[in-house]
Structure 1
Amino acid sequence: MQKQNGFTLIELVVVIIILGILAVTAAPKFINLQGDARLSTLQGMKGAIQSANSLLYSKAAIGGSEKDAAADASPIEGVTLNFGYIQATKAELEAALDITSTDWVIAVSDPVTTPASVTIQPVDAPDTCVFTYQQAKDASTPPVYGTMPDASDC
């Protein structure tokens, strides 16, 4: 009597069906990983700006320059502040956060509006994966951080 080695056709079909079911249930969890990563990066940038603003405002308050407009302010940590907060310019954000244009797209939204604002997005991200930073309007109005996009926008 001969022993049979290998799998039967039925066994192979059952294994393929089980793998197909696993793939269908697991695939949606991994489809939008890139969008989630971009959104997390954008949220990290927003948090970095908020933290830098808190630290720089504290230093400006200690020095008594938290009510100075950008034209009257002396640089703190190499950053010229506007009413104690980071100005909404590419140069000031890059200096305050130690970032480069190879990773981030920082664009002035509308140079005519007051207060100035910039849009910030990761490089190679869709145009919908962006948030807005608006500098302080005056000494009594802090900067405004725009709403974050959804993961589907990134």
Structure 2
Amino acid sequence: MKRQNGFTLIELVVVIVILGILAVTAAPKFLNLQDDARASSLQGLKGAIEGAAGITYGKAAIQGKEAAVSGSVDNIDIVYGYPAATSAALTSAVTGLAEDWKVIKITTGNGASIAYSYESTAANATQCVVTYTQATSPSSAASTKVTFGSGCDSSAN
């Protein structure tokens, strides 16, 4: 008699059950990648704004405008050498800002700021925000802050 090699039906069912259990435990981790992606994109925007502000300040310093209350460098409105907290100034300084992000709040006066969020209609789009605050004196630099709301992964700070 020939002996056949192979898997029995019970062995195949056990393997399928084990794979099902692994899939159920791993699925929530993969489904939560959207929050991580949102948090990463906010951090990316923060870095882009900070980089553009640093380059603008460097150009202003070369031209001797870093201590001026207002002025312009390469068609970018500046305040103490850093870009002003206006949509026009930051759009000129940061490539792609107008296409991918939307302005959700602007404050004026000393310490003016502008807040950007996703170009999205999602309910939580306005809760995940990058806020740029312009310089208030020659000795204080402009600052950029990320605020994580619901739907953003705050562990990515």
Per the normalisation by structure 2, the TM-score is: 0.80
> Of 105, 113, 125, which aligns to 1:117?
113
Report the count of equivalent residues.
150
Paired position in structure 2 for 1:81: 78
Q: Does 1:129 pair with 2:128?
A: yes
Give, in angstroms, the shift of residue 31 of structure 1. Answer: 1.6
Could you list the per-position Cα deviations for residues 108-149 of structure 1 after superposition, in whole angstroms to 9, with x for gaps in the alignment?
3334x4221111112226222112111111222211222442
Paired position in structure 2 for 1:17: 17
Q: Tell me which amino acid in the other structure corresponds to 1:35.
A: D
Paired position in structure 1 for 2:142: 143
> Of 91, 94, 105, which aligns to 2:102?
105
Instruction: Please show how residues 36-115 of structure 1 align to structure 2 within 5 Å.
Output: 36-70=36-70, 73=71, 75-111=72-108, 113-115=109-111
For the residues of structure 1 that align with 2:107 and 2:97, how far apart are their CA atoms? 21
- SS of residue in 2 equivalent to 1:119: strand
Structure 1, gaps ≥5 residues long: none
Give, in angstroms, the shift of residue 24 of structure 1. Answer: 2.4
Kindly, what percent of the aligned residue pairs are identical? 45
Structure 2, gaps ≥5 residues long: none
More strand by share: 2
For the residues of structure 2 that align with 1:59 and 1:90, how far apart are their CA atoms? 20
Per the normalisation by structure 1, the TM-score is: 0.81
